[in-house]
Structure 1
Amino acid sequence: MLDFSTTAQTRKSIREYLPEPLSRAELDAVLQDALRAPSAVNAQPWVLHIVSSDALRRLSEKLVAKFRSGDVKADFIYDQHAFTGVYEDRMRDSYQRLYEAFDILREDKAGRKSFAEENARFYGAPHAAFFFMPDITDNVFTALDVGMLVQNFMLALTARGFGSVPQIALTYSPDVVRAELGVPDNYKLVLGVSFGRPKPDSAANTYVQPRAPQSETVVFHE
């Protein structure tokens, strides 16, 4: 097990995995830590679905078909075009670094589309986690709770030598996911996370997104 600082500093998005799944004991250990996430008034307004094996393959086939149809609509609005100024700069830099890590040229539109479709294939991971929240009030505080659960989940994986990648793209077809997993319509899909054992010889897995300097994002008051 890694200490907390090493865990936080080394967590990164993994996009190439070994096929070997985690054991149930390994999954239970991760979940035991993840489910200790903070929750306002301890309501714990979340439901987490772990999908593996044949269920993952069936879901992937349906998500790929939905992706190719272009008929997608998430439960929540996420418009990247809304980012301006320094936020847009960071976003564009992120995409450039990501495509370079996978040797995808800027003018290679087909390559970019194929790479985006890998979201629906879970980047070859043996597991995916889908985080749902009940549709309550304005959703903000409920979503905050789920966000802290997601963070705990990914850090718990990293601490044990496993890897993960959070994927907003997995929320683009929530009706497909709900139908396949038997989730009621009043539970909204917040995020999907693919996870498993990182492929050790993957050059792409060495890629790490930078963070803005503390001076840009933290303000001290004394």
Structure 2
Amino acid sequence: MHQQAEAFGQIVRSRRSMREFLPEPVSPGLITAVLDDAQQAPSNCNTQPWQVHVVSGSKRDELAAALIEADARGAFSPDYYFDMSDYPELYAGRAKSSAKARYDAIQVDRDDAAGRHKAMQLNLEFFGAPHVALLFMPPLGDSVRVASDMGMYGQTFLLSLTAHGLAGIPQTLLGMYADTVRATLGIDPQWKMLFGISFGYADRLAAANNMVVGRIPLTGSVTFHQ
């Protein structure tokens, strides 16, 4: 049991959001193994509401081109509202610190608007990853419980990637172009997009993959009652 706990702790702590990938594709068998692990994620009343679209090869390239074109037109189509300006400084400050670390790592200055936009567009090209998993869900009630199920699925997927020697990055930004994704992949509008996870083999030498943003101490988020 101790060895299992150590192994799990290592996987959790070594999982990081990678932003540069090698072009080498992942074998279908390995992708299936990760998906099989993710399928074991818990969900409210075992509803298992996730619908996952894995995009690779020429279709991945077609989708990236469509996302870049939609961005150029300002054709944002999120299924769920998101605005960082709604976040109080406690949370917004953490996001700003993370962004600063990322831009410092890739040497993009705070005042370099063009450079920052180019860096943002790497999201729409899946950071060079050969695969992307797009997570869709049915809109049930206020969608909060379904979204929590999706989060548990996504984390299980990410941990399985790490356990298999792969890497991934969850991307909220991909959900900002839900209509473009649905149109390109022929997905029924009844399915609402939450986020995507680009994945593959990480370029371990890339500067963008060697920053550490850290986590707050337990005292900042946990209260014990006895």
TM bracket, shorter-chain basis = over 0.9
TM-score (norm 1): 0.97
Can you list the C-alpha shifts for 1:169-207, whole angstroms capped at 9, x where unaligned?
A: 101110111112221111100111110001132122111
Question: After superposition, where does 1:24-63 map in structure 2 within 5 Å?
Answer: 24-63=28-67
Quick one: distance in 1 between partners of 2:103 and 2:204? 20
Of residues 205, 209, 213, the one that matches 1:205 is 209
AA aligned opposite 2:18: I
**Percent identity over paired residues:** 39
Q: CA RMSD in A?
A: 1.3
Matched to 2:97, the amino acid is: D
CA distance in 2, matches of 1:170, 1:46: 16
How far 1:87 moved relative to its partner? 1.1
Q: Deviations over 1:156-180 (max 9, x none)?
A: 0011111111111101110111112
Contact 1:3 1:159 in 2 (8 A): no
User: What residue is the counterpart of 2:118 in the other structure?
Assistant: 114
Encode CA deviations 1:17-47: one digit per residue, 9 max, x unaligned. Answer: 1111110110111111111000111111110
Matches within 5 A, 1:76-95: 76-95=80-99
Give the match's secondary structure for 2:26: coil
1:67 to 60, 64, 71: 71
Alignment: residue pair count: 222
Residue segments in structure 2 that go unaligned for 5+ positions in a row: none
Moved over 6 A (4+): none
| Residue in structure 1 matching 2:142, options 135, 138, 141 | 138
Q: What residue ranges of structure 1 are gaps of 5+ in the alignment?
A: none
Counterpart secondary structure, 1:193:
strand
What amino acid does structure 2 have at the position aligned with 1:146? Answer: M
Structure 1 residue 80: deviation in Å? 0.4
Correspondence for 1:19: 23
Contact residue 44 and residue 145 of structure 1 kept, 8 A: yes
